[in-house]
Amino acid sequence: MISPFQIQHSDSTAADAEPRTKDIVLTGDRPTGALHLGHLAGSLRSRVALQHEHSQTILVADLQALTDNAGQPRHVSAHVLEVVADYLAVGIDPEQTTIALQSGLPALSELTMLYLNLVTVARLERNPTVKTEIELRGFARDIPAGFLCYPVSQAADITGFRATLVPVGDDQLPMIEQSNEIVRRINRLAGKAVLPEARPLLSTVSRLPGADGRKASKSLRNVISLGASSEEIQSFVSAMYTDPAHKRATDPGTVEGNVVFAYLDAFDPRADEVTALKTQYRRGGLGDVTLKRRLVDVLADVIAPIRERRTQFARDEAYLQQVLDEGTARAAGVTCSVLDDVREAFALTRRGQR
Amino acid sequence: MISPFQIQHSDSTAADAEPRTKDIVLTGDRPTGALHLGHLAGSLRSRVALQHEHSQTILVADLQALTDNAGQPRHVSAHVLEVVADYLAVGIDPEQTTIALQSGLPALSELTMLYLNLVTVARLERNPTVKTEIELRGFARDIPAGFLCYPVSQAADITGFRATLVPVGDDQLPMIEQSNEIVRRINRLAGKAVLPEARPLLSTVSRLPGADGRKASKSLRNVISLGASSEEIQSFVSAMYTDPAHKRATDPGTVEGNVVFAYLDAFDPRADEVTALKTQYRRGGLGDVTLKRRLVDVLADVIAPIRERRTQFARDEAYLQQVLDEGTARAAGVTCSVLDDVREAFALTRRGQR
């Protein structure tokens, strides 16, 4: 058995968590592929920090992944343990963080079914996140019903753990609003506060772009996995969009929208040096080649230890499965107790812990 | 403990069941009030007959009732055991028919969540039954998402028991179509026939109108419960719509749309006499008072034994609960095995019988 250990990176997000003694934190990922550097900068490092201060659950959201992958379910199941390996490799400690599989928690489906009665179709269609993602996926009128309903399913996830703090990007704020609306309806039905409202924890790190400057996305092939080899890092950085007007090293260049600087901001531990480099780049006299060489070294330092642990974990599938099974069992206790409270609000009999 | 016994009525529907050795039959009711004579004519008598020949489950559909009663959940839970008492009183035998509570079967919620990924929102909005009921309930744009999704939930009910024969009114045919579409998608995903398609069993009895000639509906107060007293039967029949042009007994009258004849057709065991009465009524010479007196006697004969058994059962709530608990436990075994097959089609691990 491999014991997970701590990633060295400092994290700025945790400081903004307005720690109210101890929060219940919920996050998750759709298991549709290996996690990448964007996940590390945007959420994984923050989770590693949060686990020490709070009670944290990470949901491997395989059911949610099926809402737009129903035609290729094996694409989802094949990536479940890989995502668990990514978690452990970046320093998520299964003793401190509950890692649970969504499809292993029937109470979440039952909660969703009950909540669907409290939300109108019009309300779901107005949800800005759903709107954007419908466009992104080109669903038009052929939206799977499960996809339209996924904010309700996400409310089941959040409330199913009585989460009080949910780390999100600002595009995900409507999801927390929807969840809190349901919480208020349930508490009104129950005549008492059986569920807590959740606060968003907005990431202080802006979303990392893909190498080409577009949105980072596995399907656009502009991201780099946490298990990337030196050669992959090299070619990922080589392909990075910088400033097309910055043709010679002596030309003045633009920092904004320059992908290399975005990655340096996210991962270079020497922030003062990065600031100096930006000044030099703007003024002229700093070539892209030199800059990219620095980024290759920085990313190699970040990825190398993760890649090594990832390889170790990948060799021990039984351990990954055990981590997930134990986390899911622990999570089942919590979600069943929440379901009991919600059932009572709907005048259904409590079932007791199954 | 009261043992249920057989109602005397003959039943014509069973003969049309195209019995293919043994079918798996699923029906159900939303527990929003006591069942009435319309249920007896339209479905209960048929179920009593079907239970001898087939493997039958009746679902007390409390979750489905919540799709348009979420604001008053107690209105649903309060009627669950009453509906069970109605079943037993008309002659449903819990040794032959599994009576199960929908909210006691988590596998049905999980099946619904998985199926929601296979059905588009546009497809649900086109469902004629949903369209009609949306109008009926005056939902307009404020349709609860759970209500829009209820054909999918009904598909989970049907397939959750591997039902092959579903007794329905013709207005419910789109529900079976929707279910069979999902069956075909699942079987394609699974690469084998894990679920059977269901055939509708159309009722041969036309839908009984309410006393006022409008659609029979508890909320319109134009129906009569299976536990009605002699006085209630009397006043129910008195209020019945006949033929406004038929002022004197000697006037010729119209049989079509005449509610008294609709009830005689449904419940008078002497069909030849009813035929003769129709001829006489059309010709002139048969007064509404005489006709209604006959119907009062007919209904009294139908209701009296049911009312008596209903009263007995109502005194033994523990027995009703036991019938429901045992039926639900039996049903859980079936629905969990179906869920396992469907999970496998979605490349999720089988859970085994819980």
Cβ-based contacts of A189 with chain B (< 8 Å): 70, 73
* Of A88, A230, A110, the residue nearest B109 (C-alpha): A110
* Per-residue pLDDT at B139: 73
Contact with chain A for residue B329, Cβ under 8 A: no
DSSP designation for B26: E
One DSSP character per residue, B55-124 reads EEEEEE-HHHHHTTTTT-HHHHHTTHHHHHHHHHHHT--TTTEEEEEGGG-HHHHHHHHHHGGGSBHHHH
CB-based contact B142 A148, cutoff 8 Å: no
CA distance B195 to B265: 39
Helix (H) or strand (E) holding A201: strand A199-202
CA distance A113 to B146: 7
CA distance A248 to A244: 10
Whether residues A87 and A162 share a domain: the answer is: yes
Q: Which of A3-12, A170-179, B255-264 has the least mean pLDDT?
A: A3-12
Whether residues A286 and A273 share a domain: the answer is: yes
DSSP designation for B347: T
CATH of the domain at A87: 3.40.50.620
8 Å CB contact between B45 and B9: yes
CA distance B320 to B99: 10
72-101 of A, contacting B, C-beta below 8 A: 73-74, 76-78
Quote the distance between the C-alpha of residue B134 and its chain's center: 19
8 Å CB contact between B205 and B187: no
Could you give phi then psi for residue A335, rounded to 5 degrees?
Answer: -65, -35
45-64 of A, contacting B, C-beta below 8 A: 62-63
Contact with chain A for residue B121, Cβ under 8 A: yes
Whether residues B145 and B203 share a domain: the answer is: yes
Find the closest chain A residue to B63 by CA distance.
A114
Helix (DSSP H) and strand (DSSP E) numbers for chain B: 16, 5
The A199-202 sheet, strands edge to edge: A97-101, A55-60, A24-29, A165-168, A199-202
Q: What is the mean pLDDT of residues B196-219?
A: 90
CB-based contact B113 A109, cutoff 8 Å: yes
With bands split at pLDDT 50, 70 and 90, how would you rate the model's confidence at A18?
low
| Tally of domains in chain A | 2
Is the pLDDT score of B6 beyond 50? no
Residues A304, A307, A312, CA angle at the centre, nearest 5°? 130
CB-based contact B117 A146, cutoff 8 Å: yes
Q: Quick check: is B353 in a domain?
A: no
Helix (H) or strand (E) holding B79: none
CB-based contact B106 A109, cutoff 8 Å: yes
Whether residues B66 and B167 share a domain: the answer is: yes
Find the closest chain B residue to A123 by CA distance.
B142
Q: What is the mean pLDDT of residues B88-94?
A: 97
Q: What is the pLDDT of residues B154-166, one digit of tens each?
A: 999 999 999 999 9
Q: Quick check: is A351 in a domain?
A: no
Q: Which of B70, B73, B145 sits opposite A152 (nearest CB)?
A: B145
Higher pLDDT, A169 or B327: B327
Is the pLDDT score of B351 beyond 50? yes
Q: Quick check: is B47 in a domain?
A: yes
Q: Quick check: is B2 in a domain?
A: no
With bands split at pLDDT 50, 70 and 90, how would you rate the model's confidence at A330?
very high
CA distance A210 to A222: 5
CB-based contact A120 B109, cutoff 8 Å: no
Q: What is the pLDDT of residues B7-51, one digit of tens each?
A: 333 344 444 445 457 999 999 999 999 999 999 998 999 999 999
Whether residues B340 and B259 share a domain: the answer is: no
Whether residues A193 and A240 share a domain: the answer is: no
Whether residues B106 and B185 share a domain: the answer is: yes
Could you tell me what percent of chain B has a pLDDT over 90? 81
Find the closest chain A residue to B101 by CA distance.
A348
Is the pLDDT score of A13 beyond 70? no
Q: Quick check: is B6 in a domain?
A: no
8 Å CB contact between B97 and B91: no
Q: What is the mean pLDDT of residues A249-277?
A: 96
8 Å CB contact between B111 and B160: yes
Q: Quick check: is A353 in a domain?
A: no
Whether residues A229 and A156 share a domain: the answer is: no
Q: Quick check: is B351 in a domain?
A: no
Whether residues B223 and B74 share a domain: the answer is: no
Whether residues A260 and A155 share a domain: the answer is: no
CB-based contact A345 B73, cutoff 8 Å: yes
Whether residues B233 and B201 share a domain: the answer is: no
With bands split at pLDDT 50, 70 and 90, how would you rate the model's confidence at A206?
confident
* Of A190, A267, A221, A239, the residue nearest A33 (C-alpha): A221
CA distance B36 to B217: 9
Q: What is the pLDDT of residues A237-252, one digit of tens each?
A: 999 999 999 999 999 9
Stated pTM of the model: 0.90
Contact with chain A for residue B70, Cβ under 8 A: yes
Q: Which of A66, A107, A152 sits opposite B117 (nearest CB)?
A: A66
DSSP designation for B215: B
Find the closest chain B residue to A345 by CA distance.
B73
CATH of the domain at B285: 1.10.240.10
CA distance B309 to B85: 8
Whether residues B46 and B75 share a domain: the answer is: yes
Cβ-based contacts of A347 with chain B (< 8 Å): 73-74, 76-78
Q: Quick check: is A354 in a domain?
A: no
8 Å CB contact between B335 and B160: yes
DSSP, collapsed to helix, strand or coil, labels residue A244 as: coil
With bands split at pLDDT 50, 70 and 90, how would you rate the model's confidence at A131?
confident
Cβ-based contacts of A103 with chain B (< 8 Å): 343, 348
CB-based contact B73 A147, cutoff 8 Å: no
* Per-residue pLDDT at A130: 85
DSSP, collapsed to helix, strand or coil, labels residue B332 as: helix
Q: Residue A236 is part of which domain span?
A: 218-312
